[in-house]
């Protein structure tokens, strides 16, 4: 695809292309690079945690540093690795799956990415100034309010900026999926990955404002003398917990629903069967999302909300197991009677089913509010949510990347290396996290810098650390696979997996306008229908004509950079008033570029019909 053509240009030209791009396919690659970088960083932090806990009373890292590493591991993995990697897949695939030429707002799409990137960089800048945030990724007040240094300020401001980006991305996908589907692509013909993206975006739209409000209140408490969460001044620390989890619980589904979507694409493709119970899968997705907003207080069973609230939230939480179970059985029945090819993406799907089932089971166990008094904040919970997030989301991302790699880069990741990666990662994952359920019940609370000898926790922690090294080896192998695949650069056909959905109907490399003519969709799995009932090609829904394209723009980068600079100024103005100058410069850059964007007409350009014909019209 375009990277190939770009190689012939200079490095500077490529760099400028990516800094200014508004093309969803290139933004996907940017998200992949950003998310991948933070995934590696979060993984290194995880390794520090596991090495510290390899033996009792270990002094490998100090208590304060441990808290910073543990906080940043969680924050990085959730906000800066998992979500961007999913956005990479969504950007790469969703417009193609619905037969669109781009997302609804290409400019905003780029802005969303750069806000995420600068927010993430700002957050990690804290390592080099006064230390990273140390109050856990949940940043419970008042610990986060009284935390010395600027660590938690970076947390609040950094996440605020990247949160704006996430909100924009969510809104963009909602509008795209509602408005830009190809003719015939009705809601109930949309691929499951598009459906889950759609539902996850709606979750973002409603969940992120709670985080925004919470972070603003925290920022004002720490930097401007407000008293939202200061109990001695009449503030209330429990409100932060509510705000955080009203965001935080839907966040879990924001992550895991798109992963479900990936598997709902991978399993039918490699079973050569349509998805079993498509409409109940859609219904289950919507139901999970709806219930996901009703259950946040199950993170707070020990806070003292009282038995009535705890019981209601317990039963509501259990209810989520029903639609999730429907999904598991539908996947199993999709494979039933199929012709299963065990490729790397399918291997991840097969690894996902038992792993996620265990995560779901421990989820129901946690939902029993009374028993949660034992599980809560112990390693049982750590085991549980890693089964959900690694067993669900990370497996989903790895499956999705391997599956769509040919679409994104025109090359196939090495299958043999891919399978090695899977087995290392899969075995390491179970070694690391299964034992943690037992560690928790044996009396090990979470976020422990060290455990002491003679408490029966030594063997379990050692096994867990060994598992972590297997996972690290798997991750390194994956990166190696990417490198050698890029070096080999062997292009494959546009449909290397013999797949079913619209994104595989495009030649390789994907043209910048995606579809020369918008295709006509005749049912679920449109490409498969054409393969079975037609000539294997999509029928165009429009005559060949000029294609309207958006112009590249450097403004998204500048707007985000402005907020980044302003953020630094706002954080340090408590030390010295002259930092306000920096803040004002930053805000001026952001508002100035916004103003520029408003007054300058940017009408885009057209690719003319004649140029399209030159490139071999009628192939599609």
Backbone angles phi, psi at 280, to 5 degrees: -70, -25
Nearer to other proteins, 17 or 377 (CB): 377
Restricted to residues 280-299, the positions that interact with other proteins (CB under 8 A) are: 280
What is the DSSP code (8-state) at residue 9? Answer: S
| Binding status of residue 493 toward other proteins by CB under 8 A | no
Query: Judged by CB under 8 A, how many residues of this single chain contact other proteins?
Result: 91
Site string for other proteins, 456-475 (x = CB under 8 A): xx------------------
Nearer to other proteins, 79 or 270 (CB): 270
Least separation in angstroms between CB 131 and other proteins = 11
- From 438, 480, 513, 579, residue interacting with other proteins (rule: CB under 8 A): 438
Nearer to other proteins, 377 or 512 (CB): 377
Restricted to residues 214-273, the positions that interact with other proteins (CB under 8 A) are: 231-232, 236-238, 271-273
Spatial separation of the C-alpha atoms in residues 272 and 139, rounded to whole Å: 46
Residue 580 contacts by C-beta under 8 Å, 6 or more apart in sequence? 569, 573
Q: Are 442 and 457 a contacting pair, CB within 8 Å?
A: yes
Restricted to residues 138-167, the positions that interact with other proteins (CB under 8 A) are: 140, 142-143, 146
Residue 37 contacts by C-beta under 8 Å, 6 or more apart in sequence? none
| Binding status of residue 310 toward other proteins by CB under 8 A | yes
- From 15, 188, 361, 483, residue interacting with other proteins (rule: CB under 8 A): 361
Signed CA dihedral, 610, 612, 617, 620: sign only: negative
- From 10, 183, 443, 545, residue interacting with other proteins (rule: CB under 8 A): 443
Least separation in angstroms between CB 237 and other proteins = 6
Nearer to other proteins, 54 or 340 (CB): 340
| Binding status of residue 544 toward other proteins by CB under 8 A | no
Stretch that binds other proteins, among 161-169, 302-310, 418-426, 548-556 (CB under 8 A): 302-310
| Binding status of residue 278 toward other proteins by CB under 8 A | yes
Nearer to other proteins, 213 or 371 (CB): 371
Residue 5 contacts by C-beta under 8 Å, 6 or more apart in sequence? 509
Q: With CA atoms as reference, report the closest residue to 89 among 265, 342, 334, 303.
A: 265
Q: With CA atoms as reference, report the closest residue to 391 among 436, 343, 415, 358.
A: 358
Stretch that binds other proteins, among 80-88, 339-347, 397-405, 411-419 (CB under 8 A): 339-347
| Binding status of residue 486 toward other proteins by CB under 8 A | no
Q: With CA atoms as reference, report the closest residue to 80 among 158, 25, 9.
A: 158
| Binding status of residue 499 toward other proteins by CB under 8 A | no
Write out the two tokens for 220: 């004002």
Least separation in angstroms between CB 345 and other proteins = 15
N residues, the chain:
620
As to burial, measured by CB atoms within 10 angstroms (0-12 exposed, 13-18 middle, 19+ buried), residue 585 is: middle
| Binding status of residue 534 toward other proteins by CB under 8 A | no
Stretch that binds other proteins, among 129-137, 211-219, 465-473, 488-496 (CB under 8 A): 129-137
| Binding status of residue 612 toward other proteins by CB under 8 A | no
Write out the two tokens for 155: 């947390």
Nearer to other proteins, 315 or 596 (CB): 315
DSSP string, 497-529: T---SGGGGS-SSPPTTS-SSPBPP-SSSHHHH
Spatial separation of the C-alpha atoms in residues 186 and 570, rounded to whole Å: 47
Restricted to residues 363-402, the positions that interact with other proteins (CB under 8 A) are: 364-365, 367-374, 376-378
Spatial separation of the C-alpha atoms in residues 512 and 103, rounded to whole Å: 12
Site string for other proteins, 313-332 (x = CB under 8 A): -xx--xx-xx--xx-xxx-x
Stretch that binds other proteins, among 28-36, 60-68, 177-185, 423-431 (CB under 8 A): 60-68
Nearer to other proteins, 113 or 270 (CB): 270
Cα-based distances in Å from 192 to 171, 196, 551: 19, 6, 31
Task: Please state the separation of Cα 172 from the chain's center in Å.
Answer: 16
Spatial separation of the C-alpha atoms in residues 15 and 557, rounded to whole Å: 13
- From 12, 306, 543, 618, residue interacting with other proteins (rule: CB under 8 A): 306
| Binding status of residue 580 toward other proteins by CB under 8 A | no
Least separation in angstroms between CB 452 and other proteins = 6
């Amino acid at each position: 695809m375009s990277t190939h053509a770009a190689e012939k240009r200079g490095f500077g030209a490529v760099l400028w292309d990516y800094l200014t791009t508004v093309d969803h396919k290139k933004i996907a690659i940017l998200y992949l690079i950003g998310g991948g970088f933070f995934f590696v960083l979060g993984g290194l932090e995880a390794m520090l945690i596991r090495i510290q806990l390899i033996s009792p009373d270990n002094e490998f890292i100090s208590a304060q540093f441990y808290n910073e590493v543990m906080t940043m591991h969680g924050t990085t993995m959730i906000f800066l690795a998992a979500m961007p990697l999913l956005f990479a897949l969504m950007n790469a695939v969703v417009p193609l799956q619905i037969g669109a030429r781009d997302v609804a707002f290409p400019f905003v799409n780029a802005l969303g990415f750069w806000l995420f990137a600068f927010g993430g960089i700002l957050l990690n800048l804290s390592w080099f100034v006064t230390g990273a945030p140390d109050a856990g990724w949940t940043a419970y007040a008042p610990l986060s309010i009284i935390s010395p240094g600027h660590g938690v300020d970076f947390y609040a401001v950094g996440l605020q900026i990247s949160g704006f980006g996430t909100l924009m991305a969510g809104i963009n996908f909602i509008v795209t999926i509602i408005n830009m589907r190809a003719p015939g692509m009705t809601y109930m013909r949309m691929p499951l990955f598009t459906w889950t993206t759609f539902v996850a975006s709606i979750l973002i739209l409603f969940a992120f404002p709670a985080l925004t409000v919470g972070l603003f209140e925290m920022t004002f408490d720490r930097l401007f003398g407000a008293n939202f969460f200061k109990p001695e001044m009449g503030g209330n620390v429990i409100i932060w917990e509510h705000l955080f989890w009203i965001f935080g619980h839907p966040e879990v589904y924001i992550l895991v629903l798109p992963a479900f979507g990936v598997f709902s694409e991978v399993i039918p493709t490699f079973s050569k069967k349509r998805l079993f119970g498509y409409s109940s899968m859609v219904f289950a997705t919507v139901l999970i999302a709806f219930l996901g907003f009703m259950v946040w207080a199950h993170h707070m069973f020990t806070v003292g909300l009282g038995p009535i609230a705890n019981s209601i939230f317990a039963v509501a939480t259990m209810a989520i197991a029903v639609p999730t179970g429907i999904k598991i059985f539908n996947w199993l029945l999709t494979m039933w009677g199929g012709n299963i090819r065990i490729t790397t993406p399918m291997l991840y799907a097969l690894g996902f089913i038992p792993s996620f089932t265990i995560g779901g089971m421990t989820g129901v166990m946690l939902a029993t509010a009374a028993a949660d008094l034992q599980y809560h904040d112990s390693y049982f919970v750590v085991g549980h949510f890693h089964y959900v997030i690694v067993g669900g989301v990370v497996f989903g991302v790895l499956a999705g990347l391997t599956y769509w790699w040919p679409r994104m880069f025109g090359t196939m990741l090495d299958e043999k290396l891919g399978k090695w990666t899977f087995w290392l990662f899969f075995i390491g994952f179970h070694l690391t996290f299964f034992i943690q359920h037992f560690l928790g019940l044996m009396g090990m609370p979470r976020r422990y810098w060290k455990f002491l000898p003679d408490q029966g926790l030594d063997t379990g922690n050692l096994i867990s650390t060994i598992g972590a090294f297997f996972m690290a080896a798997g991750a390194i192998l994956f990166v190696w696979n990417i490198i050698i695949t890029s070096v080999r650069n062997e292009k494959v056909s546009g449909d290397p997996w013999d797949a079913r959905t619209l994104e595989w109907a495009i030649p390789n490399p994907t043209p910048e306008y995606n579809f020369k003519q918008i295709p006509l969709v005749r049912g679920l799995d449109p490409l498969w229908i054409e393969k079975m009932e037609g000539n294997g090609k999509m029928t165009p829904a429009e005559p060949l004509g000029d294609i309207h394209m958006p112009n590249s723009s450097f403004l998204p980068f500048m707007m985000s950079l402005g907020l980044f600079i302003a953020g630094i100024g706002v954080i340090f103005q408590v030390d010295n008033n002259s930092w306000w100058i920096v803040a004002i410069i930053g805000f001026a850059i952001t508002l100035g570029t916004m103003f520029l964007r408003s007054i300058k007409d940017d009408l885009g350009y057209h690719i003319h019909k004649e140029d399209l014909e030159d490139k071999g019209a009628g192939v599609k």
